[in-house]
Structure 1
Amino acid sequence: MGVLASAALLLPLLSAAPPAGADAPEAGSLQGQFARAAARHGVPESVLLAVSYLQSRWDGHGGAPSVTGGYGPMHLTDAVTALTRSAPHHSDGEEDPRGDSSRPARTEAPAPVPSADRLPERLRTLERASALSGIPAGELRTRTGANIEGGAALLAAAQREAGLPASTDPADWYGAVARYSGADDTATATAYANDVFDVIRTGETRTTDSGQVVALRADPSVAPATGQVAALGLRAPVAGPVECPRTVACEWIPAPYEEFGDGDYGNHDKADRPASQSIDYIVVHDTEATWDVTLGLVQNPEYVSWQYSLRSSDGHVAQHLPLKDVGWHAGNWFVNAKSVGLEHEGFLTAPDSWYTEAMYRASARLVRYLAARYDIPLDRQHVLGHDNVPGTVTSTIRGMHTDPGPYWDWAHYFRLLGRPIVPSSGPHAGVVTIRPDYDTHRPVHTGCETAGTACAPHGSGAVRLHTAPSGDAPLVKDVGLRPGREDSTTGVNDTGARASTGQSFAVAERRGDWTAVWYLGQKAWFHNPRKRPTAVNGRGLVLTPREGLAEVPVYGRAYPEASAYPAGVPVQAVSPLPYKLLAGQRYVVGDRTPGEYLFAPTFDTTGHTVVRGQEEYYEIQFGHRVAFVKAADVRVSRI
């Protein structure tokens, strides 16, 4: 992949430290701040609390902005202040997102540079909140109480502008809540308001990042006046063949399918899934770019493609490809051909540039819909991060992407998916599933801004793996990432000694507060104290080399044997990765799948062929990334 030139992009603020003066509310005061702001502006307290929950889950994030420049519990947006430079997801010049070694690597195009004076209104709500409340913008960004006041003032103004009274009944505030979303289309504003009122109906209680408990009592009888959205004057979403659940706001913004000549075309492949090939994986990405830039890139025929983009500010979804077609997004052609790619507006190396609850919820609804449609299990061997997709061959391992990274909250995501990560066995189980407490688990990561420099402290769903049961022991090695066998590092993009929430591994040994698992062909230890565990115990299928084999090769793709290829289709090498699965080691099993290769070398789809062999493979959780082994090489058991 070529290096992306002129990648000057917008937001977020990437500073490792929150702004000076960002306050932490006194114990017990945050609930009171919501109550006082609601009373002062005539907004029902439940509405104010529910809006804040959907934006930030009541967290202040130390005064740092979200990925769309939103500040504080009310997510007041000031994108101009958060203006910075970064590079979009597929711009590092190393990974070929198409991932088919039989075709030329994908060449990318320069990203557009957005202008700060053309930012949409949804990214400039802090300015208006300041005018309405009389509170200086700096205080709205850094003082929690001021931020809540500003959000209440915006809600009250939306109610007045709709010609509605400041009713004490939450049901009368549906239109104001929809307006608060900042969405410019009816579907997104409606989906946002529905989520807010779902929070009101079900209630929530949570300990925030400032250590305070905030509670919203459930009001299951509330029946909002949903017809108020029609009076807001918002546009209809772009019509098209969208494939989304009704519970998300989804519009059609197609990726181009265009021929350039000399056998080159972009930016995806036509296919006929699932008739041609099953869809087995959902790949979670972050964009490393803002929403407008992301849409500009996916509509560029010389760039790459994915099925869906999700906006952080309000959870809006854009679909770019029919699900039957194959996007170029995962860097592994076997995975691309059998997956759906979801790009989330966000930044891996900006830990405090947080995602909104609105986007997490919209994403979870979309994934549940896809999983039900294609019978995809809701687990971490099928719902992958881009950082879990394996390199295709040894030479591509180092270039594979690392998003969404250690700051994506997989535990919360799986709760929203309806599959919370819970123990299924006792303390002597043969399998563990990683699950530290996201908010309080804060391992040091480095390199968010400068190599070797610590990132801002932040919650994380990742644990580190050591060569011995001690925090002073070296981290385990990844011979694929570092052929010279150097130790792994604490770098935020270094996946060589990292296990993430939801990933399951076979237990190799337990010793006090430490647990060892089989990982990349070696015994790897992580801190797992009984009083504050970082994993839950479970059961599962595991595999090990069959009797008589000292080791078996590990692969990054499950391609057919040579004899399966028909005339005219070039045989793809079944190339092992530089790892070994050794006798006595066990790894948790995912799918069993036949070897498959989608031959799609031309713009004209009449020559496309799916090659399917007799050789079968098992997907395994081998390291931070999944891998494949031949079924004939292993035996499977349940522990």
Structure 2
Amino acid sequence: MRGSSTDPTRAPGHRRARRTAGALATAALLLPLLGAAPAEHASGSAASTLQRSFASASAEYHVPQTVLLAVSYLQSRWDTHGGAPSVTGGYGPMHLTDARTALATTEHLGEGTEDPRGDSARAALHPTAQIPANAQLPARLRTLTKAADLTGLPAADLRSDEAANVAGGAALLADAQRGLGEPLSADPAEWYGAVARFSGADDTATAAAYANDVYDVIHTGEQRTTDAGQRVTLAAQPELAPDTAQLAETGLRTVSADGTECPKKVSCEWIPAPYAQFGDNDYGNHDLGDRPASQSIKYIVIHDTEGQWEGVLNLVQDPTYVSWNYTIRSSDGLIAQHVKAKDVAWHAGNWYINAKSIGIEHEGFLAAPDAWYTEAMYRSSARLVKYLTKKYGIPLDRQHILGHDNVPGPTTSTVPGMHTDPGPYWDWAHYFALLGHPFQQTGRKSGGLVTIRPDYTTNQPVYTGCVTAGQPCAVHGSSEVRLYSGPGETYPLIKDIGLGTTPTTGVNDLSSRVSTGQQYAVADRSGDWTAIWYLGQEAWFKNPKKHSTAVGAAGWVITPKDGLDSVPVYGRAYPEASAYPPGVPVQAVSPLPYTLPKGQKYVVGGKVPGEYYYAVTFTTDSHKVVVGNDLYYEIQYGHRVEFVRAADVTLERSGR
């Protein structure tokens, strides 16, 4: 049964971004009717300014506050991000998109010159991307312009003022409700269709998945303190049953999930990457395989596309380009699968990792404009990764769920060009909480291991070069912690000899940074500072007791065997020469410029045999997986993982 309408015929007029006292008082009186409890600060004081903005916009545009709060939570978790845009040009708690203003056209896969295939047995691959111009941006990346038309508010206010931004979101929801011919009902259950349309999805499955997530938020309720320090609360309504039949009124297309490898709670579409020949006996854009029967899948690699959805899909369907297994859309969490898990995509820049991984691209830009990812995309990605890790037995930790920035350069010459996405603004702590594996203390505080775990919101290192070289990036929460050569910020930053450059605070400079969830062996402590073994050096980070950036951990570490001054470090775990059969060229087991000196310890991610997948032809007759007798340990050596030969090191327990 449909709920009553507060005023189904009234079209809200133009309004100011700042609410008057009278409007706020009216909104407060309407709170019980609109279905959300007012938030309080931790001290129990009056509702926060942001909560009052939701109440006021709800009253003016006749959108139930419950719906408005839940939609905003799925967009931004109510954060304002200091007015900075998201990685797809969305602003404020309602993620109103203005990509024309926010996004610069950049090369796909951004920083770095790596060969995405990373196979020394073949010529390096350096494809050129053609990203569509801003004029081709779809409506879902231009919602702020429509919100400005509906509210009469300046676009600048909608980008920077939280009250105006919330009002813009409310106006869009009300417009979607009217467009479906539905009354502006006070009953949150009667807004399912409008929420589905608000997602920007163009198909029913994706729109429904988004709307279901919004109503899941309503069912469970949420409360948190935002990045601006405001407490916002959405009271749980577990019995609320949305009118899902409204989905049929949206007029969206129907797509099939046939052929996809995805969990049931996400929207997934098969958009295949081609396997085709071209030119002079060349082919692309991936290799056929038989995983996990032929070789195990050990890693998930998290990327961001550094291009918008439509353009990136064009790229992955080009046989002369590179490939990855999945792409996830920012606005609504839609997943497109391109390469089957059994096959090997060309995405990580390291053939050993490619052959044993699944690559997931997330729509967004790393350094232009350097900001945040939507909650809808985080949730969709986490569901996919949880499904894949369970299916293939992949451990849920930071040595197996890798950022592209954690993938090692396979050889010395490739180290400087390796890519740096998803970058310091990816919220690893929140992501692993969604995966059901939050980073927790597992060892003694004063023990021998630590897990990096800063508070994302308040951890705000200075980065430069997001928009203009050398210029500071917008202040923003970060998953990463900076490392120094001594216990203080006056000491030089830690140097990465593999990069061959002086370390900087550049957003793409990984020389002296550790990331949330990574684990390291403790080398020393001094006051508020902790030293870890990192890149063969003692590296210090600030870790005060009251605002710690790491917690105690327990696990396994390796150290050079007695009698060895140091041991070599490798970027790939390849077999010994004697393991290769006739017809398969021997791949060099070449050490990187790094070493692991005696007395130092590094956390182990697993023990693996040397392995190489030979696949250099379009036909699969000659394809072969070579497995050797030499064993390797994967270790957290620096910002990236690396490998050492098991014969060179001793394994021991630490941190208990």
For Structure 1 versus Structure 2, the TM-score category normalised by the shorter chain is over 0.9
Provide the TM-score with structure 1 as the length reference: 0.93
Q: Which residue of 1 aligns with 2:148?
A: 130
Instruction: Assess, with a 3 A threshold, how the Cα gap between structure 1 residues 311 and 23 changes in structure 2: closer, same or farther.
Output: farther
Deviation at 1:164, TM superposition (A): 2.4
Matched-pair contact (CA < 8 Å) for 2:485–2:538: yes
Instruction: Structure 2: give runs of 5+ residues left out of the alignment.
Output: 1-15, 25-45
Q: Which residue of 2 aligns with 1:422?
A: 440
Matched residue SS, 1:448:
coil
Q: Which residue of 2 aligns with 1:167?
A: 185
Deviation at 1:261, TM superposition (A): 4.3
Q: How does 1:406-421 map to 2 (within 5 A)?
A: 406-421=424-439
Tell me which moved more, 107-116 or 555-564: 107-116
Matched residue SS, 1:306:
coil
Deviations 1:306-326 (A, max 9, x none): 001111111111111111110
Matched residue SS, 1:605:
coil
Q: How does 1:426-445 map to 2 (within 5 A)?
A: 426-445=444-463
Deviations 1:164-223 (A, max 9, x none): 233322222111111110100111101101111111111111212222111111111122
Q: Which residue of 1 aligns with 2:652?
A: 637
**Is residue 120 of structure 2 the alignment partner of residue 101 of structure 1?**
yes
Q: CA–CA distance in 2 between the matches of 1:352 and 1:112?
A: 18
**Is residue 321 of structure 2 the alignment partner of residue 321 of structure 1?**
no
Q: Which residue of 2 aligns with 1:10?
A: none
**Is residue 597 of structure 2 the alignment partner of residue 577 of structure 1?**
no
Q: Which residue of 2 aligns with 1:465?
A: 483
1:310 to 328, 333, 342: 328
Instruction: Assess, with a 3 A threshold, how the Cα gap between structure 1 residues 507 and 351 changes in structure 2: closer, same or farther.
Output: farther
Deviation at 1:238, TM superposition (A): 5.2
State the AA in 2 paired with 1:50.
A
Deviation at 1:500, TM superposition (A): 0.4
Q: Which residue of 2 aligns with 1:481?
A: 499
Deviation at 1:83, TM superposition (A): 5.0
Tell me which moved more, 330-339 or 244-253: 244-253
Q: Which residue of 2 aligns with 1:6?
A: none
Q: Which residue of 2 aligns with 1:13?
A: none
Q: How does 1:535-614 map to 2 (within 5 A)?
A: 535-614=550-629
Deviation at 1:156, TM superposition (A): 1.8
Identity rate of aligned residues, in percent? 65
Q: CA–CA distance in 1 between the matches of 2:208 and 2:120?
A: 44
Q: How does 1:195-274 map to 2 (within 5 A)?
A: 195-237=213-255, 239-274=257-292
Deviation at 1:453, TM superposition (A): 2.1
Matched-pair contact (CA < 8 Å) for 1:22–1:62: no
2:82 to 46, 62, 66: 62
Matched-pair contact (CA < 8 Å) for 1:553–1:629: yes
Instruction: Assess, with a 3 A threshold, how the Cα gap between structure 1 residues 243 and 23 changes in structure 2: closer, same or farther.
Output: farther
State the AA in 2 paired with 1:41.
Y
Instruction: Assess, with a 3 A threshold, how the Cα gap between structure 1 residues 92 and 407 changes in structure 2: closer, same or farther.
Output: closer
Q: CA–CA distance in 1 between the matches of 2:50 and 2:134?
A: 36
**Is residue 551 of structure 2 the alignment partner of residue 531 of structure 1?**
no
Matched-pair contact (CA < 8 Å) for 2:450–2:552: yes
2:205 to 184, 187, 202: 187
Matched residue SS, 1:588:
strand
Q: CA–CA distance in 2 between the matches of 1:481 and 1:638?
A: 32
Q: CA–CA distance in 1 between the matches of 2:119 and 2:519?
A: 28
**Is residue 506 of structure 2 the alignment partner of residue 491 of structure 1?**
yes
Deviations 1:117-145 (A, max 9, x none): x4322222223223333333333223211
Deviations 1:71-105 (A, max 9, x none): 2211222233335332211x667200000011011
Deviations 1:38-87 (A, max 9, x none): 12222211110000111111122233322322222112222333353322
Instruction: Assess, with a 3 A threshold, how the Cα gap between structure 1 residues 93 and 427 changes in structure 2: closer, same or farther.
Output: closer
Q: CA–CA distance in 1 between the matches of 2:101 and 2:629?
A: 58
Count of aligned pairs: 614
Q: CA–CA distance in 2 between the matches of 1:488 and 1:79?
A: 32
Matched-pair contact (CA < 8 Å) for 1:114–1:293: no
Q: Which residue of 2 aligns with 1:14?
A: none
Q: Which residue of 2 aligns with 1:39?
A: 59
1:627 to 608, 625, 642: 642
Q: CA–CA distance in 2 between the matches of 1:166 and 1:527?
A: 52
Matched residue SS, 2:269:
strand
Matched-pair contact (CA < 8 Å) for 2:85–2:369: no
Q: Which residue of 2 aligns with 1:53?
A: 73
State the AA in 2 paired with 1:622.
Y
Q: CA–CA distance in 2 between the matches of 1:499 and 1:80?
A: 33
Q: CA–CA distance in 2 between the matches of 1:600 and 1:620?
A: 27
**Is residue 363 of structure 2 the alignment partner of residue 345 of structure 1?**
yes
Matched residue SS, 2:594:
strand
Q: CA–CA distance in 1 between the matches of 2:129 and 2:537?
A: 42
Matched-pair contact (CA < 8 Å) for 1:238–1:253: no
Matched-pair contact (CA < 8 Å) for 2:257–2:267: no
Q: CA–CA distance in 1 between the matches of 2:467 and 2:174?
A: 40
Matched residue SS, 2:421:
coil
Q: Which residue of 2 aligns with 1:113?
A: 132
Instruction: Structure 1: give runs of 5+ residues left out of the alignment.
Output: 1-20
Instruction: Assess, with a 3 A threshold, how the Cα gap between structure 1 residues 269 and 297 changes in structure 2: closer, same or farther.
Output: same
Tell me which moved more, 343-352 or 359-368: 343-352
- Structural RMSD (CA): 1.9
Provide the TM-score with structure 2 as the length reference: 0.91
